[in-house]
Amino acid sequence: MAGSFNRITLVGNLTRDPEIRYVGSGAAVTKFTLAVNRRSKQQEETDFVDCVAWDKLAETCNTYLKKGMSCLVDGRLSIRSYETKEGEKRKAAEVVVNTMQMLDRANRAPGEGGGSYDKPRTATPATGGEFDAALDEEEIPF
């Protein structure tokens, strides 16, 4: 296989209002959790997926998304390792959001367009290479 592919698209409802913070470099980072329903052997189950948005998209998510709203996110799966204060090794899985689309028409502000927001892109190769944030994810203050 020539390369790797890491893309995830989810539709779900926010479990609470997003939280925005700013890392040492001044970049905005917003964290929120989506409740995503799925069917499993005649019953519906819910997965709770942590999502992280950066920069302008982080500010947009913090401004427009609210608890209970339905939205679609597209991004990449990130699995981070960290150590607790007690010295236990843990892993955290989260979606680093590239695009977000609000799905609740009733919750949109008047005059708001399609409700779709993209992460600002830096110069990318003409081959359409995948956008890779130049931010250090270890700086995430959550």
The CA angle 60-75-21, to the nearest 5 degrees, is 40
The answer to whether 38 touches 47, Cβ cutoff 8 Å, is yes
The CA angle 92-8-2, to the nearest 5 degrees, is 100
Each residue's pLDDT tens digit, 89-117: 999 999 999 999 999 765 555 444 445 56
pLDDT score, position 106: 56
pLDDT score, position 129: 33
State the Cα–Cα distance between residues 66 and 17, nearest whole angstrom: 5
| Structural domains of the chain, ranges and CATH numbers in brackets | 1-101 (2.40.50.140)
Q: 3-class SS at 127?
A: coil
pLDDT score, position 104: 79
Per-residue pLDDT for 132 more than 70?
Answer: no
Q: Where are the alpha helices (DSSP H) in 1-142?
A: 55-64
